[in-house]
Amino acid sequence: MNALADIRAAVRVNDFVLKIANVNGTGSASANGLLMKAIFRMGVPVVGKNLFPSNIQGLPTWYEIRLTKDSYAARAGETHFMVAMNAETYAQDIEEVAPGGYLLYDNTWPRPELHERAEVTAIGVPLARMCNAEFDNARTRVLMKNMAYVGAVAGLTGLDLDVIRSMVEEMFGTKAHLIEANMKAIQLGLDYVTEHYPDPISLKVEAMDKTAGHIMIDGNTAAALGCVYAGATFGAWYPITPSTSLMDGFKSFCEKLRIDPETGEKKFCIIQAEDELASVGMAVGAGWNGARAFTPTSGPGISLMSEFIGFAYYGEVPLVLFDVQRAGPSTGLPTRTQQCDLTLAAYASHGDTKHICVYPADPKECFEMAVASFDLAERFQTPVFFMTDLDIGMNDWMVPEFEWDDSYQPDRGKVLHAEDLEKIEKFYRYEDRDGDGVPYRTLPGEHPKGAYFTRGSGHNWKGGYTEDGAEYQEVLDRLTRKWESAADVVPGPVVVEAERETRDAIISIGGCDGAVREALDRLNEANCPVNYLRVRGFPFSAEIEAFIEAHDRVFVVEQNRDAQLRSLLINETSADKEKLIPLLDYAGMPANPSFITAGILAHCQPQEA
Amino acid sequence: MTSMPKPKLDKHLPRNKLGLTIRNYEGVMSTLCAGCGHDSVTASLVQAFWELGLAPESAAKVSGIGCSSKTTAYFMGQSHGINTVHGRMPSVATGANAVNGDLHYIGISGDGDSLSIGFGQFAHAIRRNLNMLYVIENNGVYGLTKGQFSASADVGSTTKKGIANEQTPIDPCVQALTLGAGFVARGFSGDKAQLVPLIKAALMHKGFALIDVISPCVTFNDHKGSTKSYAHTYKYYHPLIHTDFVAEADAIIGEHDEDGALEVTLHDGGQLKFKQTDAGYDPRDKAQAVETLMTPSSNGEIRTGLLYLNEDSPDMHGSNQLPARPLNQFAHEELCPGSAGLEKLLRRYG
């Protein structure tokens, strides 16, 4: 037990994980968000993960808050302080607490089944009893219990009550009675632990200055904001977890920014379609007609959209598809994260099709790459896949404040307008006039000379129907050239070089980034340094092939069972597949650095320190 | 093979108000079977557009897959067209229309395209009251795949080999009425005199305008035993009401005809003059329209004409408060809040 005593004696300042176990539908989200934001406002970097069920009410849900003084961006993979508000998961929750950790529970009711662990300090707080005594209606009592545990956690860990108060004020605005009621509940929890647990615990929050210039935002909201900044005017969607909040975000920004105060006219159109076959069709129609159009969805939606995706690829219609990936196959785990649509998106639809994809790693990149996606779609006149996931999309991430360059001009691609058409003899839709694989297009309604017929059936460079093999093939080959030329235009890879020479490397993608970067530090400490490249766009640039070439072993870290990124690398580069070692995490949880560290250490001969 | 252009010899042809001849509204040569009803519908569309004097580039043609959907290439070659995927034309029309409501959207579909694979999209386009002309070239059969029954085949109608259909047909007009369409008509490809005014009126109607056109398939459904053959349709074809369309400029403001003709002025201009052929049929009475269509007639007549008209419900643009200026014509500066806006927007996330 000496080891345990040591753990307890060692105070962890701004470096621990607080996890709250709740019942879905009890209003805990705002209390947990408050806790996280308060820590952030104290200048302490945080990582928040909402682990929720596919359910409206009753099933277990957890909220995990990691305080990370070193500004890591991933889950820690362990829990130091559990707030156990769900009797159903209590046994599981206490098991999860690291030795020397704490468990706060509601001791209003006797718990004969109370599962004790000597290495975990249990802290009983009569949350329900206190709230029942103070508040009248049943729903209020439930909600206030959440605020009471916020107070208890604050009291135990040293969270600044003034910060909490200012946040409660922001949350409820002018509704003074709600501010007072919530503060009262918070005070109840705080006073109780101050009186009954006066000894300091070993987990402490202390003010820092490491969050200045940062915001806390989820990727779906950030992507939605990107759509606004890109000048998207049309969005069609069918509700599906975890993409729903993207369209909610777009709607809310547009309602704020794009409604004429006098006429009530909207400079945007959002249509909730009857299904994903229709939502993508609408985006195709709007893109064909010259608007920046998009549709947010998740894997099952992409499956349904596939026929239209091939149509837009072959007919060369720009649109942006946001795939907020969730665990498949089929309905899979709708509220769990994965990167399982990488190959689906890259080659979506029947026949020979290849698409442009971008892979943001966090909400800041969601904002930036959303804008880039519309530029890519119009420049290359093709569907573009924005591949994010539930973890990026729905969790609040601490990221540097977004920046906007006011000199930005959208790349609307090659469009011949009426005045251009006047000057030319004849317009042919699929003529490669510039020899770069990208033809010119025209918009309906502008000029009779610009008329052309968009079809998914075989067509020649003039846009006419054809069953002639050579004519058909000519168009298909141009499409390949066009797609390949996007390799240098999609967001380029990000490379992190180890401080020491190494022949080992990691290639990863999207939301694994935070976990990989943390693993790099651990691997370096273990004298197994590795270089790191993060893929951000498809088709792959030459730099990616060269990076693989320059290493003996490349661990491909991704969140799916079938090593889809690795498959794409094998398929689209000259890389030796034996060199690419898959490191796969597909249980549905946000990426965890320890699995990467362990996975690589298993292959590593430590260098001399 | 590739598509063939039509010769454009039009020196001596009459010109419309834009100075264009009918040739300016034609497309490439049809590749459908000789005598196909769809080619007659194409000719009526060309005629209607020319007569209305609409600029060819003001139209956008949309279609799905099938013999009917191919026809968008055979008319108005100076208009943009998009031949989409099977059964999904309405969604493409919806997106296109949302971002530019100034164009005349002409959707051409078939009974397979709209009533089987695309039944859902057909229904939802009506629910949204998409402002478009939606033509179903209805022949009760799948032509390109060689003669399977479609969802509009009547019970008892037979294939060429004599096999009778046993499943209940879907009547697109009844469906459209119950889903809230404001313009529901049925025509016959063999009666251009009836069809052209219907097309003109539908183009001027602000909202979803359905014309279900019985359009016989000469190759797979024109035999004895078929209820969608030329012979059968000619025999039982019965206009419930006669409709004339008078363009806005030519509208005669006058009293109702003595025989009880009814006049309706359309929002987008022009006037409709109805002349009843059946005593008591009122094209503004939805319940009567549904009842009439759903009651089998004793003599097997096929009721045609403008069956229902209601100009009162807002179209998709109206119900979405879309701007008068098309969404595809806004400059980026009008849409992007810039760096100053960003700082403000992000405040709540700090």
Give the CATH number, domain containing residue A138: 3.40.920.10
Contact at CB, A285 and B91, closer than 8 angstroms = yes
DSSP B36-72: -HHHHHHHHHHHHHHHHT--GGGEEEEE-SSHHHHGG
- A254-285 pLDDT, tens digit per residue, is 999 999 999 999 999 999 999 999 999 999 99
Write the CA distances from A540 to A199, A375, A481, A574, integer angstroms. 57, 18, 14, 11
Position A199 in a domain: yes
Position A356 in a domain: yes
Checking if the pLDDT of B297 tops 80, the result is no
Position A278 in a domain: yes
Partner A contacted by B2 (CB < 8 A)? yes
- The pLDDT assigned to B259 comes to 53
Looking at A165, A182, A204, which one is the last position of a domain? A204
Q: Which of B50, B82, B105, B106 has the most A C-beta neighbours within 10 Å, making it the best mutation to test the interface with A? A: B82
Question: In terms of domains, do A295 and A353 share one?
Answer: yes
The CA-CA-CA angle for residues B83, B87, B92, to 5°, reads: 55
Taking CA–CA distances from A277, the nearest residue in chain B reads B88
CA distance A1 to A443: 76
Which helix (H) or strand (E) is B236 found in, with range? helix B230-236
Contacts of A279 in chain B (CB under 8 A): 91
Partner B contacted by A249 (CB < 8 A)? no
Question: In terms of domains, do A177 and A248 share one?
Answer: no
- B153-204 pLDDT, tens digit per residue, is 999 999 999 999 999 999 999 999 999 999 999 999 999 999 999 999 999 9
Position A408 in a domain: no
- The pLDDT assigned to B255 comes to 39
Dihedral (Cα; B43, B44, B50, B51), 10-degree rounding: 150
Question: In terms of domains, do A433 and A386 share one?
Answer: no
Dihedral (Cα; B225, B230, B235, B241), 10-degree rounding: 130
- A197-218 pLDDT, tens digit per residue, is 999 899 999 999 999 999 999 9
Question: The pTM is what?
Answer: 0.96
Question: In terms of domains, do A255 and A292 share one?
Answer: yes
Q: Which of A46, A215, A233, A472 has the most B C-beta neighbours within 10 Å, making it the best mutation to test the interface with B? A: A233
Partner B contacted by A246 (CB < 8 A)? no
Average pLDDT, stretch A230-249? 98
Question: In terms of domains, do A165 and A238 share one?
Answer: no
- The pLDDT assigned to B334 comes to 97
Looking at A460, A488, A516, which one is the last position of a domain? A488
Position A608 in a domain: no
SS3 B242: strand
- CA A102, A104, A110, A114 dihedral sign is negative
Contact at CB, B1 and A271, closer than 8 angstroms = no
Partner A contacted by B261 (CB < 8 A)? no
Q: Which domain holds residue A229?
A: 217-400
| CB distance B296 to B267 below 8 Å | no
Question: In terms of domains, do A166 and A22 share one?
Answer: yes
Question: In terms of domains, do A498 and A479 share one?
Answer: no
Position A211 in a domain: no
Average pLDDT, stretch B23-31? 94
Question: In terms of domains, do A446 and A384 share one?
Answer: no
The set of long-range contacts for A125-132, using a CB threshold of 8 Å and a minimum separation of 24, is A125/A149, A125/A152, A125/A189, A125/A192, A125/A193, A125/A196, A126/A192, A127/A85, A127/A152, A127/A189, A130/A188, A130/A189, A130/A192, A131/A185, A131/A188
- The pLDDT assigned to B263 comes to 78
Task: Name which of A353, A321, A307, A342 is nearest A240 in CA terms.
Answer: A321
Position A607 in a domain: no
Contact at CB, A453 and B72, closer than 8 angstroms = yes
Question: In terms of domains, do A464 and A503 share one?
Answer: no
| CB distance A165 to A151 below 8 Å | no
Contacts of B108 in chain A (CB under 8 A): none
Question: In terms of domains, do A10 and A143 share one?
Answer: yes
CATH number assigned to the domain comprising residue A342? 3.40.50.970
Checking if the pLDDT of B257 tops 60, the result is no
According to DSSP, residue B7 is labeled P
- The pLDDT assigned to B154 comes to 93
Contact at CB, A266 and B322, closer than 8 angstroms = yes
CB within 8 Å of chain A, chain B residues 44-73: 55-58, 60, 62, 72-73
According to DSSP, residue A22 is labeled E
CATH number of the domain at B22-319, out of 1.10.240.10, 3.40.190.10, 3.60.110.10, 3.40.50.970?
A: 3.40.50.970
Position A406 in a domain: no
- A26-59 pLDDT, tens digit per residue, is 889 999 999 999 999 999 999 999 998 888 888 9
Looking at A138, A171, A204, which one is the last position of a domain? A204
Checking if the pLDDT of B256 tops 50, the result is no
Question: In terms of domains, do A56 and A192 share one?
Answer: yes
Contact at CB, B95 and A275, closer than 8 angstroms = no
Average pLDDT, stretch A225-241? 98
How many domains, chain A? 4
**B98 → closest Cβ in A229, A286, A453:** A286
Question: In terms of domains, do A484 and A498 share one?
Answer: no
The CA-CA-CA angle for residues B81, A382, A310, to 5°, reads: 75
